[in-house]
Amino acid sequence: MKIQTKAVHAGDRKRHCKAIPVTTPIYTASSYVYEDVATLDKVFGREVEGDSYSRYENPTNRALEEQLLALEGGAAALATASGMSAMQFALLGALLDRRKRVVSASALYGATIRMLQSLFEPMGIETTWVDICDLPAVEKALAEKKPGCVVMETISNPLLRVGAVDRIAEMTKAAGAALVVDNTFATPVMIRPLEFGANFVVHSVTKYLAGHGDVLGGAVIADAEHSEQLRAMSRTAGPVLGPFESYLTMRGIKTFPLRFERQCANARRIAEWLAAQPGVAKVYFPADPGHPDAGVIARLFPQGVYGAMISFEIKGAGKEQVFAFMDKLQLVVRATSLGDVHSMVLYPAMSSHRDISPKQRERVGIRDNLVRLSVGIEDTEDIIADLAAALEK
């Protein structure tokens, strides 16, 4: 054989030795061979289990999907290239054989709002926006609009409202619609929406699950009723995550419960501290006994676990003063995203709610002095010292 041929084939397609790798390797192969074509034919025909092409299934992705299923419950998981891709697929899966109409929580991740408005609406799929914490309003929207799908987040961004997933799941089911829940902020440590009757759970695994700020990825987890549909859609449309990112996500998930426990404990302490600062006008945090959804929080979340996102208003501040506060931070990272090991701060009026007019922002309660903090795993007192120095006039 000549060097050109050897360069292409040498070293590849070795049979695995008997030993089993302790952690799942990164399988980058886009296709798979068998001893004979008859076996490949059966794999293509789904008569025997096996890999054929990476858009259909990939061993690294499959391992991650098994891990995701173990965390959220459900019947099928799909690892996707981003959280938005996961949301798009959950919505398509919910609407495929239902009425092409959506009822959605008005407080949603900005890109999800934009997707419904600029991608789904031009295709004839209209969305009705409701305050998801106002159950009579949700009931009314379901009765009037007869949607095929209801969309919500377990903890809303950035004001951290908590909708009654259990009640909404009942109402959605009774209306013949499917419920899609974005569980990115709460994570399966706090709530597993499928157990309460949701049909699809969506994650941006970019956030808490991967957790290290080095992966962009998403996940859809479907109940038994929608699992085949999700797989079939994925095989055709190909939103799949790359095996490198799958590997990193799996690696991240191994420490996710530990990280999240620490992040939640840090956040509780920091929220208490913030509430006692004269320079802070208001703190939004689910542990607050005066939280508007305190009853739902007590019913649905584990005791003492309130998540690791805090929003707060700086007294008398406008955009300029908020920027000055953010610029003074030495430890807390001024960047978009959340859930990472490092604490992060973000200005919603600049980022997630940038495209909304100041008046509209004010109406939904997002003032120009509001800051969002994603609490990391650092030492609590170090985070507090950094915030204290930056809050000083």
Ligand X SMILES: *Cc1c(COP(=O)(O)O)cnc(C)c1O
82 binds ligand X (CB under 6 A): yes
> Within positions 308 to 367, which residues make up the interface with ligand X, using CB under 6 A?
none
Q: Which stretch binds ligand X (CB under 6 A): 99-107, 202-210, 250-258, 316-324?
A: 202-210
249, 71 Cβ separation under 8 angstroms: no
Name which position in 101, 192, 207, 268 contacts ligand X (CB under 6 A). 207
Provide the minimum distance between the beta carbon of 277 and ligand X in the complex, in angstroms, as a whole number. Answer: 26
240 binds ligand X (CB under 6 A): no
84 binds ligand X (CB under 6 A): yes
341, 261 Cβ separation under 8 angstroms: no
Tell me the backbone φ, ψ of residue 20, rounded to 5 degrees.
-105, 130
Catalytic residue among 27, 32, 56, 109: 109
Angle between helices 380-391 and 319-328 (to 10 degrees): 140
- The sheet carrying 344-346 orders its strands as 280-284, 309-314, 370-374, 344-346, 333-334
Name which position in 54, 67, 204, 249 contacts ligand X (CB under 6 A). 204
109 binds ligand X (CB under 6 A): yes
Residue 372's closest CA among 312, 316, 314?
312
Q: What is the DSSP letter of 242?
A: P
Binding-site residue total for ligand X (CB under 6 A)? 16
- Structure tokens, 367: 């003032």
379 class by beta-carbon count within 10 Å (0-12 exposed, 13-18 middle, 19+ buried): exposed
Provide the minimum distance between the beta carbon of 164 and ligand X in the complex, in angstroms, as a whole number. Answer: 18
> Can you state the percent helix, strand and coil of the chain, rounding each to 5?
40, 15, 40
Of 182 and 386, which CB lies nearer to ligand X in the complex structure? 182
Provide the minimum distance between the beta carbon of 204 and ligand X in the complex, in angstroms, as a whole number. Answer: 3
Residue 391's closest CA among 311, 324, 345, 308?
324
Residue 182 is a catalytic residue: yes
Residue 109 is a catalytic residue: yes
Provide the minimum distance between the beta carbon of 44 and ligand X in the complex, in angstroms, as a whole number. Answer: 32
218 binds ligand X (CB under 6 A): yes
Q: Which stretch binds ligand X (CB under 6 A): 47-55, 109-117, 356-364, 365-373?
A: 109-117
216 binds ligand X (CB under 6 A): yes
CA angle, corner 35, sides to 12 and 228, nearest 5? 95
Closest residue to ligand X using C-beta atoms: 83
Residue 241, helix vs strand vs coil: coil
Quickly list DSSP for 167-228.
Answer: HHHHHHHHTT-EEEEE-TTTHHHH--GGGGT-SEEEEETTTTTT-SS----EEEEE-HHHHH
Of 65 and 386, which CB lies nearer to ligand X in the complex structure? 65
Binding mask 166-185 for ligand X (x = CB under 6 A): ----------------x-xx
By DSSP bridging, strand 280-284 and strand 309-314 are antiparallel
Provide the minimum distance between the beta carbon of 211 and ligand X in the complex, in angstroms, as a whole number. Answer: 13
Catalytic residue among 34, 42, 51, 55: 55
Name which position in 153, 313, 340, 386 contacts ligand X (CB under 6 A). 153
122 class by beta-carbon count within 10 Å (0-12 exposed, 13-18 middle, 19+ buried): exposed
158 binds ligand X (CB under 6 A): no
Provide the minimum distance between the beta carbon of 205 and ligand X in the complex, in angstroms, as a whole number. Answer: 7
CA atoms of 267 and 344, how far apart (whole Å): 12
Of 291 and 372, which CB lies nearer to ligand X in the complex structure? 372
Name which position in 63, 71, 78, 83 contacts ligand X (CB under 6 A). 83
Residue 53 is a catalytic residue: no
Omega prior to 188 cis, within 30 of 0? no
Name which position in 54, 60, 88, 206 contacts ligand X (CB under 6 A). 206
209, 187 Cβ separation under 8 angstroms: yes
Provide the minimum distance between the beta carbon of 339 and ligand X in the complex, in angstroms, as a whole number. Answer: 8
The letter for the amino acid at 268 is: R
Catalytic residue among 27, 145, 182, 372: 182
Catalytic residue among 192, 207, 259, 268: 207
Of 30 and 336, which CB lies nearer to ligand X in the complex structure? 336
- The residues annotated as belonging to the active site are 55, 109, 182, 207
Q: Site residues (CB under 6 A) for ligand X? A: 82-84, 109, 111-112, 153, 157, 182, 184-185, 204, 206-207, 216, 218
